[in-house]
Amino acid sequence: MSTLVIGDLHGCGEELAELLDVARRERCDARLVLVGDLFTKGPRPDLIVDLVMQRRAEGRRVDLVCGNHDIRLLEALRRRDAGHPLDSIAASELQAIRLLDRADRLVAARRLLAEAVGCVVMQGHGWTVLHGGVVPGAGLAGTSDHDKIHLKAAPGETPWWELYDGRDGLLIVGHKPLLEPLMVRRGGRPSVVNVDTGCAYGGTLTGYCIEEERFLQVPSRQPAREGFTTAAVATAPQWASGVPGRSFARRP
Q: Which of 62-71, 96-105, 241-250 has the lowest mean pLDDT?
A: 241-250
Selected residue with higher pLDDT from 15 and 156: 15
The DSSP bridge pattern shows strands 170-173 and 182-186 to be unpaired
Q: What's the confidence (pLDDT) of residue 236? A: 54
**pTM of this structure:** 0.92
Mean pLDDT of the chain: 92
- Closest residue by Cα to residue 44 from 102, 131, 112, 117: 102
pLDDT value at 241 more than 50: no
Confidence of residue 244 (pLDDT cuts 50, 70, 90): low
pLDDT in tens, 39-67: 999 999 999 999 999 999 999 999 999 99
pLDDT in tens, 210-224: 999 999 999 999 999
Q: Give yes or no for a contact between 207 and 216, defined as CB atoms under 8 angstroms apart.
A: yes
Selected residue with higher pLDDT from 155 and 170: 170
Q: What's the confidence (pLDDT) of residue 49? A: 98
Query: Could you write out the three-class secondary structure of the chain?
Result: CCEEEECCCCCCHHHHHHHHHHHHHHCCCCEEEECCCCCCCCCCHHHHHHHHHHHHHCCCEEEECCCHHHHHHHHHHHHHHCCCCHHHCCHHHHHHHHHHHHCCCHHHHHHHHHHHHCCCEEEECCEEEECCCCCCCCHHHHCCHHHHHHCCCCCCCCCHHHCCCCCCCEEEECCCCCCCCEEEEECCEEEEEECCCCHHHCCEEEEEECCCCEEEEEECCCCCCCCHHHHHHHCCCHHHECCCCCEECCCC
pLDDT value at 7 more than 70: yes
Residue type for position 69: H
Average pLDDT over residues 183-187: 93
CATH number, residue 183: 3.60.21.10
Confidence of residue 238 (pLDDT cuts 50, 70, 90): very low
Q: What's the confidence (pLDDT) of residue 239? A: 41
Residue 243: count other Cβ atoms within 10 Å of its Cβ: 15
Average pLDDT over residues 170-191: 95
Count of structural domains within the chain: 1
Range of the domain at 97: 3-248
pLDDT in tens, 16-28: 999 999 999 999 8
Q: What's the confidence (pLDDT) of residue 252? A: 46
